[in-house]
Structures are given as structure tokens and as C-alpha cells.
Structure 1
């Protein structure tokens, strides 16, 4: 009887030990899953930040602030930026056109390519008229009404207008993306920083630009879309 009781006691003790070990194993697996999830979250957060940082930093050496220091190119691409209600260029767009006009008048380019939305709001016509009123002849202006977004403008400049070398004219926050797109597509490009460092609502522009830079990387490396080239 004593031996039987001892065996039963040992069995109970062994069972209790097993029961204690099981929760420990589950806890260990749970911690491992949590670590994997945290690692994935860190990667998901850091990867976009690293991509945007790389794209921005890799284009900085191609950005100029002074017309006099710019290397010459055949064409300046002036990117659209919207119109006022009366159909005149917005403040931001006027600054871009003024910078393009300065390039032309200083002999840095022979042509200005106005690229924007010429379908709904006739943006490129307003851009062209603004430049003509300030002394740029019609013969020196190229109009691209299919530049609905920056990727489209760069793609069409190369594939529709056969532009292989250019100065890109836009604000500083937008230049890294424009340069990345044009250079990646095959246009040897440098950029002229137009206008101000900050405009009303600049924080909103910067936030949207972060997402737009990610989108540009996806366009160049994954989707590689072909915009309409016949307009």
C-alpha cells in the first residue's frame, strides 16, 4: 500500500510538472510571434522612410538655386501647378514660369516646355501666354497638355517630344521626385529651384510629396505605366 501510494504521488507530481511546463511553452511561442510581428511592423514603417530618404538625397547634387550656375540644356521642363479662378497661373506656377523665363533669357535653354493639364483647365495655354507676355517668343515654347502628373510629364518629354537632356523647373520640395523620375526614365536632367522655400499650406504639400515619392518609386520599378502619348 505504501509503495502504491508513493507511485500515485509520483504520478501526480509528474502530471503537475507537465501541466506547469505546457503554459511555459505556449508563453514562449507567444513571445516569438509577438517579436516577429513587431519586426514586420518596424520593416513596414522603416522601408518607406528609407526609400524616400534615398530618392531625395540621391538627387540633391543635381539641384541648383541660381540661374547663373546652371549648366546649359536644350530645354527647360516647366511643370504645371494649377490656375487661379480667373484662369491665370497660381502663385506657385507663376514662380515656376518666371524661373523658366530667366533660364531662357540667360541663354541656358533654347526652349521652354510647358507641361501640365491642358484638357480640363487649359493650364498649358495659360502658362504659354504668361511667358509670351514677358518676352518669350511663341517659337521657343513647347506645349504638352498631357502632363497630368509628374511621371506623365517626364515620360512624354522623352517618348513624345524626344527630349533627352533638360533642366527641370519647379519648387524645391518637388524637385527630387521630378529629377528621380526623369533621370530614371532616361532624360539627363538637372533642376532649378523656383520660387520660395515655403508657401501657404507647405506642410500639406510636404506630406503629400512623401506619398508621391513612394508612388514614383513604384511606377519606375513595378508598374512602369505608359501614359497616352498622342495628345
Structure 2
């Protein structure tokens, strides 16, 4: 039996929660350093709530419409996280901007995954914008959350190619596969204390430096290998 002390993680979602599912799957491993103790959605009809509940994880909706102000809504979410004794908060497709007091309370303990290689393409519609810009490389980023949108210190990134003939759906699907690999790796680093937010930067310590070790997961080339057709990639590469 594992004697690992696991960090208590709560996940915030707004929809289907596919990255939530990836974190739940990772946390099912007895050796994973985090346990998912609850899921909270700002939308009562979020599909991810049912998925979490089916896996035995407490899930609840705290709808914005049920609260008089944005501050009151965030206070209700904070109360739910406190009741869960959450130590880390993971945003997984949470589509509402959080208030500065909420972010400041959880700063250094709250992370997010964004479907682009930050600091490029902050905000919404990242796949469409990548295609419109003619970008040849796209990807995803896990970062600490700060009051400014998509602006916190970067923990890890995964890059995928933009293939000739890609449409928005094809590119989004490729990036999503990379997200599902990257987010559990990044959460592991945070839960183990191998990355922390300090002085507005992500500070790393104790990472294995070998080619297959933890340091390589900060870029996560494995996410690229699993996310693309390697023969097609070879044709793409000059």
C-alpha cells in the first residue's frame, strides 16, 4: 500500500471537462501525488459534472445567475473549495474570469491550461487565430493563474504542428490530445513541490535532467508524438 501524502485538488469546469477527465485518470494511479477531492462548475448543465459524479468525485454547480454579483459568485466558489479542504485548484475549461481577490487568495496554488503557446494567442478562439495567422506551430500551456487573463508564469508547454490542410476542428483535436498528456504532468510537478510561483516566475527544483526525465516534460515532446501522424509530420518537415 502506498504511503504517499497526496495534495488535495479541486477542479473548476464550465463544460464537458475533458481535461478534468485526464486529471481524474492520472489521479487514479496510487503513485500520483494528487487526489481529486471535488469538481465545481459555474454551469448546472456542464457535462463534466455527471462524469465526475460517476467516478465518485463530489461535483456541484455554483451558477453565476444565482448570485447577485461576480464577487458574491466567486465567494461562493471559494467557500466550496474551503469546505473541500482544497490545497490546489486546477482550472479545466473554466470559462469565466475570476475576480482579483479570489485569484490573489489562491495565487501560487491555482493553475490553468490554455490552448495556445503563451504568451501568444491569449484569450478565445486560439485555433482559428493560429490558422488565420499562418502559424506552423501551435500547442498548449499550463501556467499559474494571476489576475490578468492567460498571463501567469508558465509551468509547461507542448507544441504540435499546424498541418497543411488543417481546419479549426482538426487543429483543435490535435492540441486537445497534447493537453490531455501535458496537464497531468504539470499538476504532478506542482503537487510534488517541484515547481512553485515565486517573484512572478515559475521556479523549478529537483527535476530529473535525463532525456526521459521530468525536465523534458516541461516541453513534453511525447505529447507531440502521440498527437500527430508521424508520416504526415515527416512530409511536413522540410
Same fold at TM > 0.5: no
Q: Per residue, is there more strand in 1 or in 2?
A: 2
- Using the size of structure 2 for normalisation, the TM-score is 0.34
TM-score (norm 1): 0.35
Identify which of structures 1 and 2 has the higher relative contact order when contacts are C-alpha pairs closer than 8 Å and 6+ apart.
1
